[in-house]
Structure 1
Amino acid sequence: MVQRRGKSSTPESSVIEKKIKRGNAQRQASAWRGSQTVLFVCVALAGCGIVGWLYLSQTDDITETLVSRSEVLSQPRIFTVQCSDDYENYKRFPGCTPQKCGRAVADNVVTREEAHTLKRLAERGLSLGGSDGGASILDLHSGALSMGKKFVNIYRYFGDQIRDIFSEEDFELYRDVRGRIQTLIAETFGLNSSHMYLTKPTFFSRINSTAPKTTHDEYWHPHVDKVTYGSFDYTSLLYLSDYGAEFGGGRFVFMDSNANRTVEPRAGRVSFFSSGSENLHRVEKVTWGTRYAITVSFTCDPEHAIANPALP
């Protein structure tokens, strides 16, 4: 169960373009209670199924650091937050749908050595392409890779050469780490892990300070994952590089009604949270260096489940 232990208050390439259904504006507005001014702008990222909900806030100041980069947590640090009203409008799945909502950070689930190995995997994969702007993704599940101003499928584009880039050991580590993160989320939120399913998009990200060339590159807009992606019930980020040492900016920011609270990335750190509008969030713009991370997402709906990736 979630306990309070701290202060609190894909895409298939350029040939496929999907419009994502807009969320209910009133429901989204309730995610940002208080004095903030909200502007809804739905941006459908062509071919990748990502919708960004843009907001204008009266302040972007960070008012509280939940976990700093210099800290090393021996146990997860857990923060409870009140579940949003959104869940009344979603289908419920016993043993999985959030009963208590929150956010948490753990440094004792993935080692720094494992994070560095996964970072090298991401570097090799992203060296095959990369966005013209500052944000690139690599999705081992669908094969989607940023390339210029579009996406390609690495498994089709590179064919048998892909085995010169990735190994079975790479994929085995990726799957093992993914399983540990799922177990961590289940234990923290008191869930039945077997009722949780990996869902898309789940991907590596590389962000630097290069100016955006398309809307694909605009990663910093505040959003709610349940609205943006639909299938998300729990979101996690595994950081593969260190804030303040390998990059500047790029902190993860929870945008609460009374404060903006941040988690500073550290290689091997897992940050995770319930995906409803109780956890409106954004990522700061990266100002220098390169930020690497993996987004690993879970759904309670088996119809939206995806399989572990495997080398073709």
Structure 2
Amino acid sequence: MFVFGRRRWWWVACSLAVLVAWRVSRNDKEVVKRDDVAAVPRRWPVACAETTSACGGACDRVLIDDWLGNAEIDGLIGIATRGMAMAPSSEGGPTIFDANSGYVMAPGARLANVYARGEPVFSRQELELYRGVIRRLKHRLEEAFPTDRPLVFTAPTFVARLSGQNASWEPMEPHDEYWHPHVDKQNTHHYDYSGLLYLSDYDKDFEGGLFEFFRAGTNDTALAIQPRRGRLLLFAASQENRHRVRRVTAGLRSV
């Protein structure tokens, strides 16, 4: 998952994004299915909320299919899997990892750093892949959302893995309950835009885990997106893009 804001895991301060244009209807929800692939970015115009300060940029949602190739995706998954070794996926629940800082947060708010022992964990090529993807994502977001101020990456950037491999797993900390409706900027005030790069396939690598945007002022779904490997979702991080990820019930969902 990539996010852009002024600081924090894969988010950038006046972040960037290109959104698959979906129309939000008052009566119907739109579903972008996993295999509904578009050759060009889709964009859904969204009016900014009065409280929004998205660096002078738009508040839309943008979806880009096949933004990243399979070889690079496999490389990112390999990096994340090694970085998350302290929290086996068989335990269930959410785990996040940032290759730049080395920090891992596992279910139960367990925190560790893979670089603590001072030993090499990743090759130079692996770190170049990780950082290169982030730079390209930032550039793509800037193209999608021109702003009045320069975009700044949040620190750290991170990969998030949601595991449904343990049917008996239950959340122990608020951080574990990732499926609640939320606004990114309310959780982390320096977020202006969010970027999500999917590394796994809906209904193939995992079950559950549907991404949903809500209609303003309600819990009614306006737009639902089924994750697909290489699919990039970009959106303003404020109130107009309140959303949630449904609980993963089987397999591994990575973003």
- Specify the TM-score bucket, using the shorter chain as the normaliser: 0.7 to 0.9
Q: Kindly report the root-mean-square deviation, in angstroms, between the aligned alpha carbons of the 2 structures.
A: 2.5
Query: 1:219 and 1:196 mapped to 2: Cα distance?
Result: 27
Aligned to 2:143: 187
Work out which of the residue numbers 185, 189, 192 in structure 2 matches 1:226.
Answer: 185
Q: How does 1:88-127 map to 2 (within 5 A)?
A: 90=53, 97-127=55-85
Query: 2:75 and 2:19 mapped to 1: Cα distance?
Result: 32
| Alpha-carbon distance, 1:64 to partner | 2.2
Aligned to 1:12: none
Query: 1:221 and 1:117 mapped to 2: Cα distance?
Result: 30
| Alpha-carbon distance, 1:155 to partner | 1.5
| Alpha-carbon distance, 1:153 to partner | 1.8
Work out which of the residue numbers 34, 37, 40 in structure 2 matches 1:69.
Answer: 34
Work out which of the residue numbers 229, 235, 257 in structure 1 matches 2:194.
Answer: 235
Q: What percentage of residue pairs aligned between the two structures are identical?
A: 36
Query: 2:100 and 2:20 mapped to 1: Cα distance?
Result: 35
Question: Would you say the 8 A contact 1:130–1:147 is kept in 2?
Answer: no
Q: How many residues align?
A: 229
Any gaps of 5 or more consecutive residues in structure 1?
10-33, 35-61, 91-95, 294-312
Q: How does 1:156-175 map to 2 (within 5 A)?
A: 156=116, 158-160=117-119, 163=120, 165-175=121-131
| Partner-residue secondary structure (3-state), 1:195 | coil
Query: 2:158 and 2:19 mapped to 1: Cα distance?
Result: 29
Q: Partner letter of residue 163 of structure 2?
A: N
Larger radius of gyration: 1
Q: How does 1:249-268 map to 2 (within 5 A)?
A: 249-257=208-216, 259-260=220-221, 261-268=223-230
Question: Would you say the 8 A contact 1:144–1:152 is kept in 2?
Answer: yes
Question: Would you say the 8 A contact 1:130–1:137 is kept in 2?
Answer: no
Any gaps of 5 or more consecutive residues in structure 2?
1-16
Q: Partner letter of residue 113 of structure 2?
A: N
TM-score (norm 2): 0.81
Q: Deviations over 1:32-81 (max 9, x none)?
A: xx9xxxxxxxxxxxxxxxxxxxxxxxxxxx9321x211122221111110
Query: 2:62 and 2:126 mapped to 1: Cα distance?
Result: 27
Work out which of the residue numbers 155, 158, 161 in structure 2 matches 1:203.
Answer: 158
TM-score (norm 1): 0.67
Greater RCO (Cα-Cα under 8 Å, separation 6 or more): 2
Structure 1 residues 133 and 4: alpha-carbon distance in aligned structure 2, compared to 1, 3 A threshold: closer
Is residue 270 of structure 1 aligned with residue 243 of structure 2?
no
